Amino acid sequence: MQVAPNSDGIQKLLGAEQEASRIVAEARKAKAERLRQAKAEAEKEIAAYRAEREGAYQKKLAESSSGAASTLERLTKETDTNISQVHADVAAKKNLVVDLIVKHVTTVKL
């Protein structure tokens, strides 16, 4: 009956092999789960970063648009002020210039 002890050893080896296979399968399953979770977390972080950058871009865009509008408004006011000043200067010195031109046109130098 030497067959029984060998058979028992083979059964132990088969049992150990099955246990090892089960452990390896569980480890692979756990690794796949960790990878899936890591990928999901990375996608969340990417989405959050993308949203943050998009918000910063929109804010910068709004600031530059409002900056352009305020610059246009400021330049329009300055231009209107300068035009008003020129009209005032013309009105103030109009008679003087007309008199000067008439004097030079009517004066004959011999």
Considering just the CA atoms, what is the radius of gyration of the chain in Å? 47
Classify 66 as helix, strand or coil: helix
- Give how far Cα 61 sits from Cα of 48, 66, 71, Å: 20, 9, 15
pLDDT of residue 78 exceeding 70, the answer is yes
72 falls in which pLDDT band (50, 70, 90)? confident
pLDDT for position 65: 77
pLDDT for the residue numbered 45 = 97
pLDDT tens profile 21-30: 999 999 999 9
Residue 57 has pLDDT above 70, yes or no: yes
Q: Which DSSP letter does residue 47 get?
A: H
Tell me if residue 5 falls in helix, strand or coil: helix
Sign of CA dihedral 45, 47, 49, 51: negative
Q: How far is CA 38 from the centre of its chain?
A: 26
Phi and psi at residue 37, to the nearest 5°: -65, -40
Q: Which pLDDT score, from 0 to 100, does residue 1 have? A: 38
Q: Where are the domains of the chain?
A: 1-78
Residue 91 has pLDDT above 50, yes or no: yes
pLDDT at 66 over 80: no
Q: What is the mean pLDDT of the chain?
A: 90
